[in-house]
Structure 1
């Protein structure tokens, strides 16, 4: 097999990149180790910045987004008793859209055949060869046969556990990491949300998040120690805890319902500062992880893809190399700003086990400052809707 760009991974970053390249007449193939059903069933965040929605509109893969996406003009930070509304539309002239990453992935996969985008699912033993040469290639197993894809470039969109990052010699890269001493215990249920807008709460019982996927589907999270196990949290205990954390704040009581999904997600900040090695480029979670506070993961992957697709298209259309050469620096500049915002919001809204009364009072003072300062609310709003590309 031969193509111009081999894309490893069929998450949103790989799918968006593939569609953007095909729309510009660039040949590519996506290689995915998991089954299609697995990829389409992964439940992830659902707040989309303009950079992400603009790409979907540009591709014309936006019917689901237009029909079911919910415009969010504000969100709330809270202490134990008070809501502080961040008026993102009023302060920035922009808004974000609530539309699940699961739905984005399904839309992009469903549109692939008619757009001529080939996706190989259930590809085993994916390996990258000679990425620093002029003739890189990818091998993988399919139906008991080893396949080879010769290509001009390889895009590693395969997350933190895929082969792309591992194909870059460790001696050439720098890794920056912060692991947090807690996780998010989350529940997804078909129940109406307790509040019309998202709430990030920092109370005596710890962080909690009330969000929604639709007017009838809610997503809740609470902060738990990293040592907690799912078996420690039967559904009744989790709903009891959510009632305690949101009763003083939300517009409506927390409505209980059967859980569609319950999970504990660890929180981590991570940057791999080597996003290009020869003809291999990293994008999305292969290069960086952000804590979910601030909803930057998918949107940061989309900005990587916007830069990378533009660079590759210019290479094939005009023979330009500047975009490819400058991809890493341009992407990292935006990545670190997003990492900063997610880290700042995580520090502000969570209870850290090493913190004492002084640190808690500092958090309350910071939230009081946010409540009284339009400049501070504007800075938060600008980061939340996404900084310019």
Structure 2
């Protein structure tokens, strides 16, 4: 679901790969073999959730690592259930060397199981120098850095059809209330305001997290993410009430709640940017652009654009993120070469390979913005970097999977029920607390 690939490298990246010299954008010497083929004859096995264009684009990064070091790579797609697949491979004596972990909770689980090697001094120095502290914190367990965040997502972007907003005579809103007002005006002009992917529970958790982070603030967000604050807290009820104002307004939802519950994420993008638009706006992360561009031929920045998720009740505009962290398994057959791969992934030129291909954001501050293929992606990447330590990782990805990441259960199912009938925020909060208490205890 990401942006179309190209076979071009930036001039900076190509030079670095050819010479194995110094990192671009002000980085230090490249540590992954230094371009001297020091890992010839070795193979690094990498496991991750990616498939399709994401896997192909990541393979370009792995190929660049091979060109620099001589090490071959083998990517194994795990599907969504990384924890189960990796656990089975470890038990079977076939552990990969590196895993790209998409959830903070899974990274913590791996560390607590004793599966991970701490990252090398070279990688730690790169993270200290080039990443906001929040990314180091999310990659650490009990003060030890195990995960390098290579790929990030910006989940505080609302995508819209400029034609739809122009027809309705509205501008991108600056507050949540303005967004609902603009949505009603769009609805009056003949299109539904929002296409909501209610069939996928994870999209609803993202809606909640943006509202909650802005309305309740980062301290309560962190406490709720760690279940140090109960879901029955008034701040949760307030956020659900705010979200329910949108979910309960038939003028705002394409197809109403029933239509939303029958729409998956790709379908929600199609309803805004497909050949027969049915709505003017769709909320989700920066990866919406890849679907709009690759599947529906939209020109990003011209007939598909975004505005930041607007602040709620006078709070600050939220910046919710997700991401994939690279970790090295103790039981891998080639952990030294795996650690060298992470040292390479920590460099700006490794990120530039995928940035050029598209469908990618890096949390590395030293990545040259020029590496991104279009102005909208560049703006999104710069917004993520500018947010610094105010970025908050997707809350459901920090939770135990039984609560925050299981289809038909926990937060996903409860928020789908809330989308169906948002009339009882207190009751929904109580259900969320009961599910969270059970999952965190387990």
Q: TM-score, normalised by structure 2?
A: 0.26
Greater fraction of residues in helix? 2
Greater fraction of residues in strand? 1
RCO higher in 1 or 2 (8 Å CA, sep ≥ 6)?
2
Q: TM-score, normalised by structure 1?
A: 0.29
